[in-house]
Amino acid sequence: MTLLAIESSCDESSAAVVQDGRVLSCPVSSQIKLHAEYGGVVPELAAREHLRNLPTVVRLALAEAGFPVTTLQAVAATRGPGLPAALLAGYKLAQGMSFSLGVPLYGIHHHEAHLYSPWVAGQPACADFAAFQPNVSLIVSGGHTLLVLVRAEGNHTILGATLDDAAGECFDKTAKILGLPYPGGPELDRLAREGDPKAFSFPRPLLHSDNHDFSFSGLKTSVRYLVRDRPDLLQQGSALRDLCASIQAAIVEVLVAKTLRAAHRCRVACITASGGVTCNSGLRTQLSAACQAAGVELRLASRALCTDNAAMVGLLAERKAKRGEWPDPIDAEVEPSWPLERICGAQPTSR
Ligand code: KG4
Ligand code: ZN
C-alpha cells in the first residue's frame, strides 16, 4: 500500500509517503521562527502558515518518494486533538485529495500517532511493535503530558495526565522567566549541561502522590518568585546555568519516577517515550539509566521524530488500513478535543 499522510495539529506542517511500513519521505516545515516573536504559538497565524506550506510539503514528499499523486492508494491526516484551525488546514486538504483521487481517508489521533513514533526509525518501521506490548508510554510535549498504558494496538488507557501546565510548557515558561528565547526547552537544555542540578532546590510536584498525574505550575511559580527576589542571578552566567540545570532536574525527576512507577504497577516490561520534550538530554539519559536499573526495555523516539511529523501519522494509518478499519466518512470534521480512549478502532463520532 502507498499512502500519503499529513500532520498539521500545531505548528509543524508535515507530509510523508509511507509504503508497506517504510517511510519513503517526511519533509517537515516548522513555524518556530514565526511564533518566537510572540513567545508562543498564535493559532490564527499557525493556520495561515499551514495553508501556505502544506501544498509545498505534500509536493516535496511525493517528489522525494518518487510517486505521482495518482499512485496513492490512501491518504491520512491528523484529525485531532490540536488547534482547530490548524487541524482544519491539513485535514480538509487530505479530504479533498481523498475525494478527487477516489481513495480512502484515515483520520488519525495525534497522541495515538505519537505512540508509534519510537518505532518509525526501524525499516520496516513498527515491525516489532507487538513484541513490546503491553507497554507504558510517556507522551511529553508543549501541550501534553500523558502516561498511557498500551495493551495492544488500538487498546489504550490513560493512566495520568497533567493537571495544569504540560512539561514542555513548564520548560518554555521557566525559560522565559530566565530571559531565554522561545521555545525555551532546547535552550534551557543546552545551558543545563554546564550547570549544577543541585544548586537550587525546586519542588517536585506530585512526585510521591498515589496517582499517575503531573502538575508543573507550582514549579514555574517557584522559579518566578526566586528570580523576583534574586534578579542578580540572571546576570551571572554560572548561576543561570545552575538555575537551568536545577529546573531541568526537577522536571525530569518527576517524569522519570512516575513513568517507572506506572510501569511497575502495570507490570509491563517496556516503556516508550515521545513528544518534543523527549529531545531533552537529561530526560533521555535519566530515563535510560532508570530503565536499565529496573530491567525495563526502553524505546525512545529518535530526536528528529520526537516533535510532530507525518511519518508517525502515515505508519499508524497504514496499519489501520491493513487491519480493515473503516476510513472516515466524506463529511467528517476535525476533532480538536478528541480523547484517546475513544479510539479503540472506532470512529470518533458517528455522523
Ligand atoms: O511535540 P512538540 O514539537 O509540539 C507540541 O507541543 O505538540 O513539542 C514542543 C515542546 C516545546 O515545549 C519545546 O520547548 C519542547 O518540546 N522541547 C524541549 C526540548 N526540545 C523541545 N524541552 C526540553 N528540552 C529539549 N531539548
Ligand atoms: Zn505532538
Alpha carbon distance 250, 204 (integer Å): 6
Long-range contacts of 71-74 (CB under 8 A, 24+ apart): 71/2, 72/2, 72/3, 72/4, 72/97, 72/101, 72/103, 73/1, 73/2, 73/3, 73/103, 74/1, 74/3, 74/4, 74/103, 74/104, 74/105, 74/106, 74/317, 74/318, 74/321, 74/327
C-beta separation of 14 from 50 below 8 A: no
pLDDT at 349: 46
Ligand 1 pocket, residue 80 CB under 6 Å: no
Ligand 1 pocket, residue 222 CB under 6 Å: no
Burial class (CB within 10 angstroms; exposed 0-12, middle 13-18, buried 19+) of 315: buried
Distance 174 CA to ligand 2 centre (A): 20
Q: What is the mean pLDDT of the chain?
A: 93
Report yes or no on whether pTM surpasses 0.85. Answer: yes
- Mutational pocket test of ligand 1: of 141, 176, 256, the residue with most ligand atoms within 8 Å of the beta carbon: 141
Q: Which residue has the cell 530566565?
A: 178
pLDDT at 350: 38
Ligand showing the shortest atom-to-Cα distance for residue 141:
1
Distance 330 CA to ligand 2 centre (A): 25
pLDDT at 126: 77
Alpha carbon distance 47, 29 (integer Å): 13
Residue 205, all three cell numbers? 510536584
Alpha carbon distance 269, 289 (integer Å): 15
pLDDT at 39: 83
Ligand 1 pocket, residue 148 CB under 6 Å: no
pLDDT at 351 over 50: no
Residues with CB under 5 A from ligand 2 (ion): 141, 308
